[in-house]
Structure 1
Amino acid sequence: MTISTINIFLTSLILASHIIHHHLHVSSQSLPTYNSGQQGHWHLLHASIGISAMHMQLLRDNKVVMFDRTDFGFSNISLPGGLCRYDPRDTVTKIDCTAHSILYDIGSNTFRPLMVQTDTWCSSGSVLSNGTLVQTGGYNDGDHVVRTFTPCENDYCDWLEFPNYLSERRWYASNQLLPDGRVIIVGGRRQFNYEFYPRQPENPHTITLDFLRQTRDVDENNLYPFLHLLPDGNLFIFANTRSILFDYNQNQVAKEFPRIPGGEPRNYPSSGSSVLLPLDENKASIEAEIMVCGGAPEGAHVRAMRGSFIRSIATCGRLKVTDHNPTWVMEDMPVPRVMGDMIMLPNGEVIIINGAGLGTAGWECGHDPVLNPIIYNPSARPRQRFSIMAASTRPRMYHSSACLVPDGRILVGGSNPHQYYNFTGVEYPTDISLEVFSPPYLSFEYELIRPRIVPGNVGILRYGKSLSVVFKVPKYLSVDVLSVRIVSPSFTTHSFAMNQRMVVMKMMGVSNVKKWTYCVSVMGPSTAEIAPSGFYLLFVVHGGIPSPGVWVELH
């Protein structure tokens, strides 16, 4: 078959994959339910994992740490070996023999309970370069605590806790892994400051950030600010309606960006979401573009607490922060959404999943669940970027979460808009199930062009060095639509996926190894500012169809 024939065939397949990228204006009540592969499909993994998955983190051993909070009451899964948690400061249960954290094994679809001693409610986290999850703060006796979880090859690893490690109370804070391996921990309830993990010997205390004080609402809220590490090493920080370029090394605001149009808040409890769109090293100069979607109008939280639920926000804004004079470019989602999770897909698209059409985050403050995810294609033409996906049967409201797993599916769990576990007599019962959404690119119709990385044939990923990846394509290959990408798994909670980033690596060339087997050479990320050292999922993407991911360590 000639190259032109292959390209015609491939183009038709790619065109089919993008037919659904059209722009619709519909209410959440009237969103259609689809069953074909073009709208993806849902699969229930477990009716009960024992806890409501408020927080999620994928680890380098293909296991996912999940946890909720210790003061919900007794969970539906017991701690192993007769263990119990003794906590005189707990507001609900002083002696608790049930678990509030689990470790889920993706490959075997099994899980085991973990022991969390102090309260992890509304906490934050990051994975260090060695693969250890560092989880920070929480509520009550957990608000100054640092906890770590390191993957292991047996079933004995568990949480380690370090009381009073944090200088200030970190409840509803956000984290970001930095180029030098530290983690910056920003904000929290009535905390207008930041600190670092590990502690800095020369400055072990907090550092004031007036921007957080300036952007708080009447209830002192600008919680879970959106943090993104930019290619110049500075931080993008977004709180409610305002955003800045922040030099944390000098404790200086380098630039303030224009306010997002509309004047409506986007952070908790208004709870929109945000992503840093893929950084592409094939471009002459790397562009960094932030996207913020959804949220709730000003005053919506107070009204929801009084039983009046108003429509959430339908707009998304994109801001190319590397422009000399950046301005927000606004567009509308197919349906308004608050408490939606924005997760990067391996092909560079963004899925917006979970959430509600009315109200805000908070206990009993959300209504009208949005059951259909939508997928956003950043490179499509305006008004053709959103696609409506198949609906879940389970409302995922306040305290739900989602994360990308190596095979390209989206793991979804949680939802508990109540002060305690509450399974009966309420409109939205506590949900302790675990399900998974398969995007359209996993449909069987793309098997002929789906790449698969040959096990054991991925080299070492180093900064600025060539990397070779051997992969197979069952039938047709077009180099023109081939890319190699790395994705850092996120710590996801409360509608924000912390530390999430994707880098499209610079293509150097493709060679034919044998029939339907190829070797692609790419250049490792140029700097730690573009991709901090650590473990990443590497994907080969062909015509918008990703391979299953493999783990690589960047150093």
Structure 2
Amino acid sequence: MSSLTFISSVLLFQLLFTSHPCHRILTSAAPGERWQLLQKSIGISAMHMQLLSNDRVVVFDRTDFGPSNLPLPEGKCRFDLNDTAVKQDCTAHSIEYDVLSNKFRPLLVQTDVWCSSGAVTPNGDLVQTGGFNDGERKVRVFSPCSSCDWQESNNGLAARRWYSTNHILPDGRQIIVGGRKQFNYEFVPKNIAVSDNRAILLDYVKNKVVKRYPTIPGGDPRSYPSTGSAVLLPLKNLKASDIQAEVLVCGGAPKGSYSQATQGEFIGALKTCARILITDPNPKWVIDTMPLARVMGDMILLPNGNVLLINGAGSGSAGWEFGRNPVLNPVLYRPDNKIGTRFETHTPTKIPRMYHSTAALLRDGRVLVGGSNPRTYYNLQVFYSLLN
């Protein structure tokens, strides 16, 4: 069975390092660390996950793959004349997962959230923006309550947003940056130089680029479809006049990986991480080498300041059928160690997590991992054959 066939069993949740207190599981690869299977099937693939203030996780997948394996409550259906797979759908493409009880309930999302982006507001609401097809200009809100469901506004964005990035601002608004073929930004609520291997410092109040950072050495792209991952490391010297802020960017795929993958040639992913002190008057990228090459990975900032790298592929690029060699081992990055000693490889999972997989940090220090749908459309027959 090929790796791509195996990872069609996308309807799975797992927890990382469940048998140890968080101060231990986040600092060392203890002999007893293990993966725990929580649910054999949640009915949908976890393309996106977000932990909310009530210790529940909102999970959702794209809506235009046809019916899922989870029915909506009686009387609820999605009617969408623009859907490319089915016009009337009475199955769920989103759930609310209760971490404490290990139970979930179906949710109704009306428009396509494929590769949308979002953030949690100061009042606890998840605001999710953009997506694909009829969802590309939508703004959706999910509030943390036991009976809440998705609420959607009609064309709440000024531009189409697919694969964009959201960030919470000090005043509670979100700035939404970029997206496929969108070299601009806007705000939610409303009051519009993005690239794949460059970075800028933006004054969003004055709409002015304050600083342009150097290109990451090597010139390889780190954004979709050569998808890398990034995290802001813990701030140091928290005096307002002397804050030190560092950004870490890991993985991705070399130039040409996507076009080569469409021809059946799968180039090895990038094995480098690039780190830069953005508050330095003369910032420079510092390159480190990961133990495992990775594209489409996820990065989680842990409570002790370390970084978890998880999921993804060892070759190819993002996109259906374009990734190969699943990376099963999580890797821990210790930012305070000397260069060359920062990485530590941890216990592998048995389930590949490729295109459209995700991970989320829980409040008890565990990491929830789910998703993966590297094939176009659902393939439930393969899923069942793996279970039986």
CA distance, structure 2, for counterparts of residue 255 and residue 285 of structure 1: 18
Q: Are 2:26 and 2:304, in contact at CA under 8 Å, matched by a contact in 1?
A: no
CA distance, structure 2, for counterparts of residue 314 and residue 176 of structure 1: 27
CA distance, structure 2, for counterparts of residue 42 and residue 280 of structure 1: 33
Match of 2:189 among 198, 223, 231: 198
SS of alignment partner, residue 86 of structure 2: coil
How many residues align structurally? 364
The more displaced of 186-195 and 127-136 is 186-195
Kindly indicate whether residue 159 of structure 2 is the aligned counterpart of residue 173 of structure 1.
no
Q: Report the alpha carbon displacement of residue 82 of structure 1 after superposing the two structures with TM.
A: 3.6
* Structure 1 equivalent of residue 177 of structure 2: 186
Letter in 2 for 1:270: S
For residues 50 and 16 of structure 1, do their structure 2 counterparts lie closer, same or farther at Cα, with a shift above 3 Å needed? closer
Q: Report the alpha carbon displacement of residue 281 of structure 1 after superposing the two structures with TM.
A: 4.9
Letter in 1 for 2:293: P
* Structure 2 equivalent of residue 84 of structure 1: 77
For residues 15 and 397 of structure 1, do their structure 2 counterparts lie closer, same or farther at Cα, with a shift above 3 Å needed? closer
For residues 18 and 193 of structure 1, do their structure 2 counterparts lie closer, same or farther at Cα, with a shift above 3 Å needed? closer
1:45-80 deviations in Å (ceiling 9; x for gaps): 111111100011110000000100110111110001
* Structure 2 equivalent of residue 42 of structure 1: 35
5 Å-filtered alignment, 1:346-425, equals 346-424=303-381
For residues 19 and 362 of structure 1, do their structure 2 counterparts lie closer, same or farther at Cα, with a shift above 3 Å needed? closer
Runs (4 or more) in structure 1 with deviation over 6 Å come to 14-20
CA distance, structure 2, for counterparts of residue 18 and residue 55 of structure 1: 27
Q: Report the alpha carbon displacement of residue 19 of structure 1 after superposing the two structures with TM.
A: 7.3
Q: Are 2:46 and 2:371, in contact at CA under 8 Å, matched by a contact in 1?
A: yes
Unaligned stretches of 5+ residues in structure 2: 1-22
Q: Percent identity?
A: 58
CA distance, structure 2, for counterparts of residue 46 and residue 264 of structure 1: 38
Kindly indicate whether residue 47 of structure 2 is the aligned counterpart of residue 54 of structure 1.
yes
The higher radius of gyration belongs to 1
* Structure 2 equivalent of residue 262 of structure 1: 218
For residues 323 and 73 of structure 1, do their structure 2 counterparts lie closer, same or farther at Cα, with a shift above 3 Å needed? same
* Structure 2 equivalent of residue 275 of structure 1: 231
* Structure 2 equivalent of residue 549 of structure 1: none
* Larger strand share, 1 or 2: 1
Letter in 2 for 1:163: N
Match of 2:61 among 68, 75, 88: 68
1:88-107 deviations in Å (ceiling 9; x for gaps): 11000111110000000000
Q: Report the alpha carbon displacement of residue 285 of structure 1 after superposing the two structures with TM.
A: 2.4
Letter in 2 for 1:250: K
5 Å-filtered alignment, 1:100-499, equals 100-152=93-145, 154=146, 156-200=147-191, 207=192, 211-212=193-194, 215=195, 240-281=196-237, 285-424=242-381
* Structure 2 equivalent of residue 492 of structure 1: none
SS of alignment partner, residue 303 of structure 1: helix
CA distance, structure 2, for counterparts of residue 280 and residue 82 of structure 1: 53
With structure 1 as the length reference, what TM-score do the two structures score?
0.63
For residues 180 and 371 of structure 1, do their structure 2 counterparts lie closer, same or farther at Cα, with a shift above 3 Å needed? same
CA distance, structure 1, for counterparts of residue 26 and residue 311 of structure 2: 23
1:117-138 deviations in Å (ceiling 9; x for gaps): 1111110001111111111011
Q: Report the alpha carbon displacement of residue 424 of structure 1 after superposing the two structures with TM.
A: 4.7
SS of alignment partner, residue 301 of structure 1: helix
Letter in 2 for 1:415: S
CA distance, structure 1, for counterparts of residue 91 and residue 375 of structure 2: 19
For residues 19 and 399 of structure 1, do their structure 2 counterparts lie closer, same or farther at Cα, with a shift above 3 Å needed? closer
CA distance, structure 2, for counterparts of residue 166 and residue 341 of structure 1: 27
Letter in 2 for 1:137: G
1:304-324 deviations in Å (ceiling 9; x for gaps): 111110100000011001111
Report the RMSD for the aligned CA atoms in angstroms.
2.2
Q: Are 2:251 and 2:270, in contact at CA under 8 Å, matched by a contact in 1?
A: yes
1:168-221 deviations in Å (ceiling 9; x for gaps): 111111101001111011111211211111111xxxxxx2xxx23xx3xxxxxx
With structure 2 as the length reference, what TM-score do the two structures score?
0.90
CA distance, structure 2, for counterparts of residue 280 and residue 56 of structure 1: 29
CA distance, structure 1, for counterparts of residue 189 and residue 247 of structure 2: 28
CA distance, structure 2, for counterparts of residue 356 and residue 141 of structure 1: 30
For residues 247 and 107 of structure 1, do their structure 2 counterparts lie closer, same or farther at Cα, with a shift above 3 Å needed? same
Q: Report the alpha carbon displacement of residue 412 of structure 1 after superposing the two structures with TM.
A: 0.4
